[in-house]
Amino acid sequence: MSEKDLALAVLAVNQLPFVDNVNVPLQAPTVFIKLSPKLAEVLPEARSVLQVEKTDFSVAEVIRVYNLYVVEYLDEIADLSHQLLMEAMDQIIKKARS
């Protein structure tokens, strides 16, 4: 990826609603994408910054990584929370019938 292409990709990624800023260290092979403050508040610190290799950096790749590391993670948490809530409700109902 040329420097111009990388710069254009950074500008495009910075426009995504879930992105706060993009950091492209000069000598590192990785681009760091800091998520929006609202997301950073609710996510573990390790998930509030995405990492993409410079060679793969694009809007599509950032969206793919965001989906994998944020959306799917939050879906898993929501599913687990719902499952535990249902188990608790079942437990209460069983106790009430006893």
| Residue pLDDT tens, the chain, 98 long | 889 999 999 999 999 999 999 999 999 999 999 999 999 999 999 999 999 999 999 999 999 999 999 999 999 999 999 999 999 999 999 989 88
Q: What is the pLDDT of residue 98?
A: 80
pLDDT (0 to 100) of residue 14: 98
Amino acid at 29: P
Query: What local confidence, expressed as pLDDT, does residue 77 receive?
Result: 95
The per-residue pLDDT for 1 is: 80
88/57 Cα distance (integer angstroms): 44
pLDDT at residue 52, rounded to an integer: 98
